[in-house]
Amino acid sequence: MVDEMRPIERFHAVMEKNPVDRIPVAPVTQTGTVDLMEASGAYWPEAHKDAEKMVKLGWAAYEVAGLEGVRIPFYIYAEAEACGAELTKWKKDNHPVLKKAAVSTLEDIDRLEVPDPHRDGRMPQILEATRILAPRCRKEKIPLILTVIGPTALSLNAGMTDSMYSMVWFKRNPEEMEKLMRKCLEIGLVYAEALIDAGADTILYNGAFDAGIAPADYEKMPLRYNREGVRKIKELGAYVIYHSCMDIRRVFPQLLKLEAHAISLSQEMDMAEARAIAGEDTVLAGNVDPTYTLIKKSPEEVIEECKYCIDAGSDILCPGCGFGPKTPLENMKAMVEAGKKYGHNARLAKR
């Protein structure tokens, strides 16, 4: 069946809960794989640090793998690095590892300053890559998705702190943690505004650590700050997809209160269960298993799992987390094929 909509029309229609011709197969989470590095000639770690190489690798997900959009960067540490965090073990086939968090003591919270996205850390390179990609994406009629770490995830992990002690602070020093969360909210919003000004049309607001928080605790503080972040990014003119890692079943009802355009689910939560809880008024993205399926299984098995996600209620077909660096290109293409073959059965597809 011939597509009736361009990728950006389809993607934005889903964000607005409007009918589409089929499910979008969008790069909601990170897309840097070794196969795409070899196809584009842009490798990690340089593609984390150099705007031109970031552009080449990000574009390869669209041009080579067929994903219906571009998503950069390829790691979650931009905000933390701009605040002073240090990373190590930069490799071609793996993500960098945190060497030193930006905030290591409660006293560091008061010393923490909001970084300038045009000056600090690798934010300027990410902004430059965004400015290069934006006109290309507009010409090709595809979405451009950038990542911002949400205030809860940034205050509890993501290089700003180490969860080994930040979770203790969360329970024992709630006033200090709220101060940090408020500052992390501001850091993310300043960064998001710069990304949107540079041409991003969608922000993947990464909630990463939500599953590590009890529902009662989530209601007290994280929900308020995450919801404020979502609201303000929407006011800046971008679509917002809120992503949460791990098994989020116990806090999933709270995530529905964030009022994001879409919720991106990790593979640990069954899509059918999520749809049953969310009802018909929430856009869900996901959640093909990025490890056991996309890395380890055959293209035929990838297509089978994609079909399940579509039938179970996914509105945007994508992995439950970032594509692992060792994901075979043929399996990325299989996911795209599944979206085209079975995407007409999606919940929002025209009948």
CATH number for the domain spanning 240: value is 3.20.20.210
Q: What is the mean pLDDT of residues 210-226?
A: 91
In the chain, the amino acid numbered 296 is K
pLDDT higher than 70, residue 351: no
User: What's the mean pLDDT when you consider all of the chain?
Assistant: 96
Chain centre distance of CA 295: 19
pLDDT of residue 211: 85
pLDDT higher than 90, residue 21: yes
Residue 350 lies in a domain: no
pLDDT band for position 208 (50/70/90)?
confident
β-bridge partners, 72: 146
- Identify whether 157 is preceded by a cis peptide bond (ω within 30 of 0): no
Residue 63 lies in a domain: yes
Interhelix angle 123-140/174-198, nearest 10 degrees:
50
pLDDT of residue 153: 94
Residue 315 lies in a domain: yes
pLDDT higher than 90, residue 210: no
Q: Confirm if 349 and 20 have CB atoms less than 8 A apart.
A: yes
Residue 188 lies in a domain: yes
Predicted TM-score of the model (pTM): 0.96
Residue 1 lies in a domain: no
Q: Output 210 or 111, whichever has higher pLDDT.
A: 111
pLDDT band for position 157 (50/70/90)?
confident
pLDDT of residue 212: 85
Q: Which of 125-134, 242-251, 301-310 has the lowest mean pLDDT?
A: 242-251
Q: Is 138 helix (H, G, I), strand (E, B) or coil?
A: helix
Q: Any alpha helices (H) in 290-344, and if so which ranges?
A: 299-312, 329-342
pLDDT of residue 268: 94
Domain span at residue 85 reads: 7-345
Residue 48 lies in a domain: yes
β-bridge partners, 202: 145, 239
Rounded to the nearest 10 degrees, how much is the dihedral formed by the CA atoms of 229, 191, 282, 138?
150
pLDDT digit string (tens) for 76-111?
999 999 999 999 988 888 888 899 999 999 999 999
Can you tell me which residue has the tokens 């197969």? Answer: 25
Backbone φ and ψ for 18, nearest 5 degrees, come out as -95, 160
Q: What is the mean pLDDT of residues 140-169?
A: 94
Alpha carbons 227 and 213: distance in angstroms, whole number: 16
Can you tell me which residue has the tokens 């605040």? Answer: 83
What total of structural domains would you count in the chain? Answer: 1
Q: Confirm if 26 and 241 have CB atoms less than 8 A apart.
A: no
Residue 222 lies in a domain: yes
Alpha carbons 180 and 228: distance in angstroms, whole number: 15
Residue 351 lies in a domain: no
Backbone φ and ψ for 162, nearest 5 degrees, come out as -110, 125
Dihedral of alpha carbons 165, 166, 170, 173, sign:
positive
Q: Confirm if 271 and 293 have CB atoms less than 8 A apart.
A: no
